[in-house]
Amino acid sequence: MTAATLAAPVDTAQTAWELEQMLALAESLQPHRILEIGVWEGGTLWHWLHLAREVTAVDDTMRDPGPACWQGWAEAAQSRLTLLHGDSRDPEIVDAVRQHGPYEFALIDADHTYEAVKADWENYRPFVTGVVCFHDVTPRPDYGVAELWGEIKRDHRTVEIVDGAGRYNGIGAVWL
């Protein structure tokens, strides 16, 4: 059974098809370490724990079901989880992420303003040796991900995973 066929105990913000495609991409890399910026309720985190031996996750709120539950997921998946609570742009958080890398795969899905997502891209891409994915690459009011995605596509090998079936749309994958 692959991570894409396992059902997470909480929802994800991605449409089912987009999630399946992103999980298949991540799985094809056979990652040892995965980085997630923006955990929300942990839906994608749950999948990363089934794909990699080590997962580092950064979030500023740690919503329910929360860290104790997520550590339980890690134990059940026989994966090591490092949770970093704080703003992903904080230099101490960036340094802590660096210390746990390098990562073969990363998902950036936190603050969606242009300034924040650009800072996450610039801060974390040096620690990734494979693929970085962004969620919400289709244009949305008050979101800056699509603008940054347009800039990234000009200079890198990318693919877009977009089915348009949900209110949160589009995953962009960039190879480093």
What CATH number did the domain enclosing 55 receive?
Answer: 3.40.50.150
Percent of the chain residues past pLDDT 90, beyond the cut: 82
Is 103 among the domain residues? yes
What sign does the dihedral 127-132-138-140 (CA atoms) show? negative
Residue 5's pLDDT band, with cuts at 50, 70 and 90, is: low
Beta bridge partners of 33: 54
> Do β-strands 128-135 and 54-59 pair in parallel, antiparallel, or remain unpaired?
unpaired
User: Over 90: is that where the pLDDT of 75 sits?
Assistant: yes
Overall number of domains in the chain: 1
pLDDT of 78: 97
Q: How far is CA 96 from CA 48, 86, 162, in A?
A: 19, 11, 32
Is 6 among the domain residues? no
Q: Yes or no: say if 38 and 108 are a contact pair by the CB < 8 Å rule.
A: yes
Residue the block writes with tokens 């997921």: 73
Is 39 among the domain residues? yes
Report field, pTM of the whole predicted structure over 0.85: yes
How many Å separate Cα 102 from the centre of its chain? 15
Per-residue pLDDT tens over the stretch 51-73: 999 999 999 988 889 999 999 99
3 state SS of 97: helix
The domain of 61 spans: 11-175
Is 1 among the domain residues? no
